[in-house]
Chain A
Amino acid sequence: MLPLDWRKRTLDLGRFGRLHVRCIGRIDLICMKVYSSPKRPQDREDLHYLKPTPAEIKTAAENLDRIERECMEEGKLDPQRKQLRRLMEQHDR
């Protein structure tokens, strides 16, 4: 459910013993949280604190379009789109 090329945007967190840890980038985190937000209140809260910009909201919407095209029935991601519209309204306020 992550956008394409998410690996290229990962950030280095460092080496911990034999582990080399990277974390996903902000836009990929936002997209992931948007996708799961209808089912998880903690992701809705995280999105509220992350305050996505209009450009990030647009990217998340495009990601939903792609997921729907590739593997979902049409309309299945409407709850996610409603969350995005709400985030955009919040931003406009």
Chain B
Amino acid sequence: MIADPHRNLIARWVRAGIAFNIGPARHTPDLERLLLKTVRFCEQNSRLFIMVATWLTIYGTYVARHRLKRLALAELTADERAILGLLLESAIDAGATGELRTVLEACAPAAQPRPLFIIDRNKVTQPLVKKEATAASRRWNLWIQPFELKRNALRTAAWVLATNPAWRDRALRRGDLRCSILESLRHDAPAGRVQSESQLARLCGATRTAVRRALDDLEKEGHTLRTKTRTNRRDQAIYLPCEKPIGILGLKRFPSSSG
């Protein structure tokens, strides 16, 4: 039951490891932007909400949390951020990493209490959904009934990483600030380059001090991202040295992906 305009979105989740009955997207998705698109669409598709919540319980550590928080603030409406909040909290309640709570700081409950799914906004279903709404959904003013996770409809980690080798970096760094730095340079910075740590901090949604420490950590892993053309470290340009994903030192580097 997948409406045509949203096939691309669903195909990207298939590529991410959810077994919907269409083919996968050609490229590895930009995970944080995929979550934003999902949030905009899931009011119309409860199955997608349930499957993405399930996916997050297993693969939530792949999400670059600081970047997702920054993108949510920059690109989602207040109501859409409420949906993101409910999605993440439902996933955390079901076993996803509690580190995703970082993103909840950017979210607030919906202004008007209502059923999350459009199909439930009618006089027959609304009272039923309101009565049976989960505690988390009441907090976000977006009622949903308790749902069953569908873990058997997810691909294994081996499949997900073989299909999306660029995500190995995410898996190893558990979506921490290093991950947000690399993904922001890869997807948000023109030509993978920013002019200063401050600019990178704004791009990642973190403080400059935290970004500097994370860059130091990346250097300890063997990845020099800062140029050495200027004396003032604060003004050093920071760039993604190649199109390839950056692996942890000593591990195999994988081919590029985009999309």
A positions within 8 Å CB-CB of B: 38-42, 44-46, 48-49, 79, 82-83, 85-86
CA distance A46 to B47 in the complex (A): 10
Tell whether, in the assembled complex, residue B1 and residue A45 are in contact, meaning their CB atoms are under 8 Å apart: yes
B22 on the A face (CB < 8 A): no
- For window 93-123 of B, CB contacts with A under 8 Å fall at 117, 119-120, 122
Interface mask (B115-143 → A, CB under 8 Å = 1, otherwise 0): 00101101011001100000000000000
**Chain B contacts to A: CB under 8 angstroms:** 1, 45-47, 50, 117, 119-120, 122, 124-125, 128-129, 144-145, 147
Residues of A within 8 A of B45 (CB): 45
Question: Does A42 lie within 8 Å of B47, measured CB to CB?
Answer: yes
The answer to whether A86 and B124 have CB atoms under 8 Å apart is yes
A42 pairs with B124, CB closer than 8 A? no
A45 to chain B, nearest CB (A): 5
Write 15 A-B pairs (CB below 8 A) sorted by A numbering: A38-B128, A41-B46, A41-B144, A42-B47, A42-B50, A44-B46, A44-B125, A45-B45, A45-B47, A45-B117, A45-B119, A49-B1, A79-B128, A82-B124, A86-B124
A48 to chain B, nearest CB (A): 6
**From B1, B122, B145, residue with most partner A Cβ within 10 Å:** B1
Q: Evaluate contact between B145 and A39: CB separation under 8 angstroms.
A: yes
Chain B residues positioned under 8 Å from A46 (CB to CB): 1
In the bound complex, residues from chain B placing their C-beta under 8 Å from that of A86 are 122, 124-125
Q: Smallest distance from the beta carbon of B20 to chain A beta carbons, Å?
A: 12
A44 to chain B, nearest CB (A): 5
Expressed in whole angstroms, the minimum distance between the Cβ of A66 and any Cβ of chain B is 23
Q: How long is the Cα–Cα vector from A82 to B128 in the complex, in angstroms?
A: 11
B124, A83: Cβ atoms closer than 8 Å: yes
Smallest beta-carbon distance B146→chain A, Å: 9
Nearest chain B residue, comparing its CB with the CB of A38 = B128
B46 contact set on A, CB distance < 8 A: 41-42, 44-45
Nearest Cβ distance between residue B48 and chain A, in whole angstroms?
9
Complex formed: what's the CA distance from A42 to B144 in Å?
A: 12
Contacts of B1 in A (CB 8 A): 45-46, 49
| Additional pairs, 20, CB under 8 Å, beyond known A79-B128, A83-B124 | A38-B128, A40-B145, A41-B46, A41-B117, A41-B119, A41-B120, A41-B129, A42-B46, A42-B47, A42-B50, A44-B46, A44-B119, A44-B125, A45-B45, A45-B46, A82-B124, A85-B124, A86-B122, A86-B124, A86-B125
Tell me, in angstroms, the Cα distance from A55 to B122 when the chains sit together: 23
What separation, in Å, do the CA atoms of A83 and B144 have in the docked complex? Answer: 17
Quick one: given A41-B144, A41-B145, A42-B50, are A48 and B124 in contact (CB under 8 Å)?
no
The 9 closest A-B pairs by CB, nearest first: A41-B46, A42-B47, A86-B124, A41-B117, A44-B119, A49-B1, A42-B46, A45-B119, A82-B124
Taking CB atoms, residues of chain B closer than 8 Å to A42 are 46-47, 50
Q: How far is the CB of A88 from chain B (nearest CB, A)?
A: 11
Bound Cα distance A40, B47 (Å): 9
Q: How far is the CA of A39 from the CA of B45 in the complex (A)?
A: 15
